[in-house]
């Protein structure tokens, strides 16, 4: 399922430099319409309980983060992309943001065509998350720069198309199509840097490994 959402999870970094216990401050919604339901048991403070599937997921997510960063940092051709990865715990699960910057783009400008660097980076991510029992949510983001109407598209269409292109490449890289929960495009509505909506770092692909469904 591919959708263009106008409300949802924002970003700001959790593991993205800090620890696995940092929490996304944006209003994520667990169990949104999709092919599967994600249920997170809540503790007294409103956070996920350290029990059952969620507790194990937390441990798995930390191991995944460490393994992925080690893979990339040990590869001379990929090491420079370590700074383009950000890891955040959200109400939906662990989100991996693949972030653009001035000298790195996931896609050719104005298109849904992955760049060679992005293909290599996604391959590393796919090899790390492949086989996990957690569902995947793919979310495309743009910055606030509007696409020329002459191109016959807009940021909603581009963000959705890029999310689908990312999903398709992950499938080619060995991830089962049945693992995907939702494919979404949110245009520029969830900026990584809200104070500067035109910052290229607002262009990113978010891959969220959802919490497994567990009984409260």
Answer whether residue 26 shows pLDDT above 50.
no
Whole-angstrom distance, CA of residue 89 vs CA of residue 114 = 26
Task: Tell me the per-residue pLDDT of 112-167, one tens digit each, with 9 for 90 and over.
Answer: 999 999 999 999 999 999 989 999 999 999 999 988 777 788 999 999 999 999 99
CA angle 84, 87, 90 (to 5 degrees): 140
pLDDT score recorded for residue 1: 52
Q: How far apart are the first and last CA of the chain?
A: 28
Q: What is the pLDDT of residues 71-106, one digit of tens each?
A: 999 999 999 999 999 999 999 999 999 999 988 999
C-alpha 69 chain-centroid distance: 15
- For residue range 170-186, list pLDDT tens digits in order: 999 999 999 999 999 99
Portion of the chain with pLDDT greater than 90, in percent = 66
Looking at residue 106, what is its pLDDT? 97
For 95, the enclosing helix (H) or strand (E) is strand 93-99
């Amino acid at each position: 399922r591919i959708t263009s959402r106008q409300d949802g999870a924002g970003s700001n970094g959790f593991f993205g430099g800090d620890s696995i216990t940092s929490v996304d401050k944006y209003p994520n919604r667990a169990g949104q319409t999709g092919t599967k339901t994600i249920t997170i048991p809540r503790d007294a403070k409103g956070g996920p309980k350290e029990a059952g599937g969620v507790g194990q997921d937390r441990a798995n997510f930390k191991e995944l983060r460490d393994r992925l960063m080690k893979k990339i940092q040990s590869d001379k051709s990929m090491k420079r992309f370590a700074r383009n990865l950000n890891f955040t715990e959200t109400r939906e699960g662990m989100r991996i943001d693949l972030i653009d910057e001035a000298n790195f783009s996931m896609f050719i400008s104005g298109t849904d065509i992955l760049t060679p660097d992005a293909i290599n980076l996604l391959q590393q991510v796919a090899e790390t998350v492949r086989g996990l029992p957690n569902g995947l949510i793919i979310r495309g983001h743009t910055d606030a720069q509007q696409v020329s109407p002459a191109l016959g598209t807009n940021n909603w269409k581009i963000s959705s198309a890029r999310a689908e292109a990312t999903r398709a490449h992950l499938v080619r890289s060995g991830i089962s199509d049945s693992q995907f929960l939702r494919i979404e495009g949110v245009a520029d509505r969830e900026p990584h840097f809200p104070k500067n909506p035109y910052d290229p770092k607002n262009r990113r692909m978010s891959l969220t490994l959802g919490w497994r469904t567990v009984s409260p």
